Amino acid sequence: MLGFLAHPALTGESPHRSSGNYGLLDQIAALQWVQRNIAAFGGDRDRVTVVGHSAGGGAVLQLVASPLARGLLHRGICQSGTLDASRPLSEAEAAGAAIATRLGAPAEAPLPALRAAPVAQLIAAAPGGWDAPTDRWVLPISVPEALRTARIDDVPVIIGATADEAEIFALPTMDRDAYREMVRADEPRLERLLALYPADRDEDAVSAARRYMTDRDFVCPTRYFAAQRHGRTWLYRFSLHPRPGSNGGRSRAFHGSELALLFAKPGIPRDEAGMRAGDVMRRYWVRFAATGDPNQPGLPEWPIYRTAAPRHLEIADPIRVDDDFARPGCDVMDEAWHRDR
């Protein structure tokens, strides 16, 4: 709410005719601070790496696409990020105007009332998730459009997803009809997707929904970014199943399950495979931050992703380079990025 609220009155008072991207502007301000001050901490202003997970991963991609961040970051790591966490400014303004109405702000001069409202009241008046507006300034176009038109910064990027992202997401009790309604949002491809992610029985609907959401929201967009981007991009998939009992009983590579291994989180049981995966990820990540290339002696050679010879790093047991990242649904879902957005 406080980072991405747009409103026509906010746009009107902006010299850039923009509103709603304060969260990204905060991150850009932090990167500008790094440029001014990092040398005093022994850092190198020409080797700045931004790392993000989930919504933070989406922000990494938006920074790579933002002209305001050019020259401020030199590598990006996107872990299970959202590819298209944006919407047109007009839509964001309409949503902000609806929030102002719910708060009782006068239509002719809403900003004083909005600025005087308690933070808790603002948040309570706002609906769920927030997307960055494409505002002609901070984020002139969406990340997918920047990819399609080659208007995206040529910094090296590591990008990846877990194999079972949606296992962690709570889903309501769902039958086959409810599942079909979920997939109906992708109407032009509905029947093909239902054939690829079938739920022949009501009791299969939740597991089918999770497979579909994993690919729709994470796995396939991640591959799409790697395939469309002309710059150096390394693609990975984390498919190591957690040690039993270490993650609330979950046994799949769900959204965020790699973080405890990457950061050697205290209190999380790790078997030898998990400890090895965490160590290898840290070595790749740190080498990438230092040099712009994750490869180093003693680790599997991780090739840059090429559509002609697609290879990715499979973080599993064993850790290996593989070529089976894409699932059958990805080719179908890619059509949405090309034609619909």
Whether 338 sits among the annotated catalytic residues: the reply is no
Q: Which two tokens stand for residue 61?
A: 């991609």
- Of the residues 7, 53, 241, 255, only one is catalytic, namely 255
Q: Is 90 a catalytic residue?
A: no
Contacts 24+ apart (CB under 8 A), 249-253: 250/167, 250/168, 252/163, 252/164, 252/167, 253/162, 253/163, 253/164, 253/167
- CA separation for the pair 286, 289 (Å, rounded): 5
Positions of E strands within the chain: 49-53, 75-79, 86-88, 132-134, 157-162, 233-238, 312-315, 320-322
As a dihedral over the C-alpha atoms of residue 19, residue 24, residue 25, residue 28, rounded to 10 degrees, the angle is -160
Residue 246 annotated among the catalytic residues of the structure? no
Catalytic residue selected from 165, 167, 258, 314: 165
DSSP state of 197: S
Dist. CA 5–CA 92, nearest whole Å: 7
Residue count of the chain: 341
| Residues forming the active site | 54, 165, 255
